[in-house]
């Protein structure tokens, strides 16, 4: 019975999420666009085969819509976040521990004989497909670095059907594959490090695996030294089941059209402060500092303006009314009327897991807003984020400056009004 690490990664995550509720996208080139539909941030394999690269401006690849029937989707973050949470919940059923690495990746601890490990990886893949509807690849190995490598092998070899367990592979075959894969394809080795390694005659994963660990430590860092040790089967990177404490919550977006008036910027700050407060309540945190920012385009020919101010809150809070009032008031003081702002943001920092000691006596502020945030949170949890809010934050219709998402799919799992209808 061997202790092993499985790295489970959703294939082409954003695209796969779009395909769950729209099966006609399967087999067709699909791209997902960034904020304001600016550039490509995710591609299906069919889109990759057309030569479309991540980061490509949308206007440069739009021709593929007519020439190759390419499907375009705006980023549907609500859908992606919800399906990610569902994937992670399914994975948690299979491991003795779990470390969520990113929105579409998770390490889990598993154990078994070589045959059992492969069978378990296959069951994990099937369970995610059945419960969530997205395809995953599973790499199983003794260390995190090797698990990432095994996942890479599974993803690029269709005959493995999405599963690669290194315990079931011949050692000679592993060495051969590692001799073909560039060292820059290895987890944690970037282009700059790859260039330096190339100067030492290290160009493949196999080259790095056989390198002298002392020399690597001397010329690079302990991090790369650990990578070499992990490639040789020595676990050096511990798992972390708890995420690091959040340092801040930031709600910042670019506008689809410039904001030039104080009235519109007040609307921005009101909505962003309420969304930040909602995040505080969801995470069980209280903020002690509030920062508001705005900015013009760095490429605009007009007057540049980047107003920002940080306020110390009177007490740790997650109260949407207080945060909204302070954010709006601060921005009124620093914004220049008539200048074209293209982005704005609210940052909540100095976070702590408890509200702290309540203030009494002459230092206490009079308030009639106790528990309003709890009421707003409860209503939103039951009826959706747009069901209630303060001022503009309670409007279901998006304001004119809000993020452009012309090609967005419905929020199938997070908005009651957009839940799919099944007719039998």
Both 44 and 186 in a single domain?
A: no
- Asked if residue 411 is part of any domain, the answer here is no
CATH of the domain at 297: 3.30.1490.100
Same domain, 283 and 300: yes
Contact 299, 330 (CB under 8 A): no
Provide CB contacts within 8 A for 245, sequence distance 6+: 351
What is the longest distance spanned by two Cα atoms in the chain? 77
Is there a single domain that holds both residue 214 and residue 198?
yes
Residue 414 inside a domain? The answer is no
Q: What is the mean pLDDT of residues 214-223?
A: 92
pLDDT at 254 exceeding the cut of 90: no
Is the residue at 31 inside a domain?
A: yes
User: Nearest 5°: CA angle at 344, between 271 and 394?
Assistant: 10
Residues 91 and 292: their CA atoms lie apart, in Å, by 38
Task: Give the whole-angstrom CA distance, residue 46 versus residue 103.
Answer: 22
Q: Bridge partners of 363? A: none
Query: Residue 10: which of 115, 90, 77, 119 has the closest Cα?
Result: 90
319 lies in which domain range? Answer: 246-355+365-392
Is residue 184 domain-shared with residue 143, that is, in the same domain?
Answer: no
CA distances 297 to 136, 178, 340, 343, Å, are 39, 45, 8, 8
Between CA 334 and CA 294 the distance in angstroms is 9
Q: Structurally, how many domains does the chain consist of?
A: 3
Task: Please check whether residue 241 lies inside any domain of the structure.
Answer: no
Q: How far apart are CA 304 and CA 77, in angstroms?
A: 31
268 and 305 inside one domain:
yes
Statement: residue 366 has pLDDT above 60: no
Instruction: Confirm whether 412 is domain-assigned.
Output: no
Q: Specify the pLDDT at position 183.
A: 95
Please report, rounded to a whole number, the percentage of residues in the chain having pLDDT higher than 90.
62
Average pLDDT over residues 124-142: 96
Query: In this structure, is residue 92 part of a structural domain?
Result: yes
Q: Which residue has the tokens 């009177």?
A: 314
> With 60 as the cut, is the pLDDT of residue 395 above it?
no
Check residue 36 and give left, alpha or beta (phi > 0: left; psi -120 to 50: alpha): left
Say if residue 207's pLDDT is above 60.
yes
> Same structural domain for residues 43 and 150?
yes
Note the pLDDT of residue 370: 54
Over the range 231-246, which residues count as b (16 or more CB within 10 Å of their CB) and which as e?
Answer: beeebebeeeeeeeee
d(CA 264, CA 424): 46
What letter would DSSP give residue 274?
Answer: H
Mean per-residue pLDDT, 269-298: 89
Cβ contact 41:104 at 8 Å = no
Three-class DSSP category at 43: strand
145 and 224, same domain (yes or no): no
Q: Is residue 236 part of a domain?
A: no
pLDDT confidence tier of residue 382, bands split at 50, 70 and 90? low
Query: Do 14 and 131 fall into the same domain?
Result: yes
Q: Report helix, strand or coil for 266.
A: helix
Q: Which pLDDT value is given to residue 368?
A: 44
Tell me: do 78 and 108 sit in the same domain.
yes
User: Does the residue 410 lie in any domain?
Assistant: no
Percent of the chain predicted with pLDDT > 70: 88
pLDDT attached to residue 419: 87
Please indicate, yes or no, whether residues 68 and 159 belong to a single structural domain of this protein.
yes
Name which of 103-112, 162-171, 296-305, 330-339 the model is least confident about.
Answer: 296-305
Q: Report d(CA 212, CA 214) in Å as an integer.
A: 6
Residues 87 and 184 in one domain: no
262 and 327 inside one domain: yes
Helices (H), 108-212: 114-131, 144-155, 171-180, 191-199, 205-209
State which of 115, 143, 166 marks the end of a domain.
166
Mean residue pLDDT across the chain = 87
pLDDT given at position 416: 81
Could you tell me the CATH number of the domain that includes residue 54?
3.30.70.270
CATH number of the domain that residue 214 is part of: 1.10.150.20
Q: Is the pLDDT of residue 392 over 70?
A: no
339 closest CA partner among 305, 316, 365, 376: 305
* pLDDT of 361 over the 50 cut: no
pLDDT at 367 > cutoff 50: no
Tens digits of residue pLDDT in 155-182: 999 999 999 999 999 999 999 999 999 9
> Among the listed ranges 27-31, 96-100, 384-388, 409-413, which one has the minimum average pLDDT value?
384-388
Sign of CA dihedral 9, 15, 16, 18: positive
């Amino acid at each position: 019975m061997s202790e092993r690490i499985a790295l489970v990664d959703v294939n082409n995550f954003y695209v796969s999420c779009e395909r769950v509720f729209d099966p006609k996208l399967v087999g067709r080139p699909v791209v997902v666009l960034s904020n304001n539909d600016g550039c490509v941030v995710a591609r299906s394999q069919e889109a990759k085969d057309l030569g479309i690269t991540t980061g490509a401006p949308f206007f440069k690849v739009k021709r593929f819509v007519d020439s190759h029937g390419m499907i375009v989707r705006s980023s549907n973050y609500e859908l992606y976040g919800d399906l990610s949470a569902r994937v992670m919940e399914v994975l948690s059923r299979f491991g003795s521990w779990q470390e969520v690495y990113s929105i579409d990746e998770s390490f889990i601890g598993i154990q078994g004989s070589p045959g059992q490990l492969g069978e378990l990886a296959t069951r994990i893949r099937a369970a995610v497909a059945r419960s969530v509807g997205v395809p995953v690849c599973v790499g199983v190995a003794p260390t995190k670095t090797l698990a990432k490598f095994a996942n890479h092998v599974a993803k690029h070899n269709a005959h493995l059907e999405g599963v690669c367990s290194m315990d079931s592979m011949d050692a000679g075959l592993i060495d051969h594959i590692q001799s073909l894969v560039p060292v820059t394809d290895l987890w944690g080795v970037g282009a700059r490090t790859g260039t330096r390694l190339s100067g030492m005659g290290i160009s493949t994963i196999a080259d790095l695996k056989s390198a002298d660990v002392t020399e690597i430590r001397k010329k690079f860092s302990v991090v790369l030294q650990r990578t070499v040790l992990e490639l040789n089967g020595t676990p050096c990177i511990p798992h972390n089941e708890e995420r690091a404490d959040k340092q801040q919550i930031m709600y910042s977006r670019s506008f689809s059209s410039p904001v030039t008036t104080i009235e519109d910027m007040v609307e921005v700050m009101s909505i962003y402060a309420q969304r930040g407060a909602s995040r505080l309540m969801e995470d069980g945190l209280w903020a002690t500092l509030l920062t508001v920012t705005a900015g013009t385009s760095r490429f605009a020919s007009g007057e540049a303006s980047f107003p920002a101010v940080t306020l110390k809150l009177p007490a740790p809070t997650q109260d949407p009314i207080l945060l909204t009032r302070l954010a709006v008031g601060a921005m009124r003081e620093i914004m220049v009327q008539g200048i074209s702002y293209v982005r704005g943001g609210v940052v909540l920092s100095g976070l702590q897991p408890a509200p702290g000691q309540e203030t009494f006596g002459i230092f206490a502020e009079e308030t009639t807003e106790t528990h309003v945030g709890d009421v707003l949170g409860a209503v939103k949890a039951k009826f959706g984020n747009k069901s209630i809010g303060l001022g503009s934050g309670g409007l279901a219709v998006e304001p004119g400056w809000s993020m452009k998402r012309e090609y967005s799919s419905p929020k199938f799992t997070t908005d009651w009004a957009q839940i799919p209808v099944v007719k039998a």
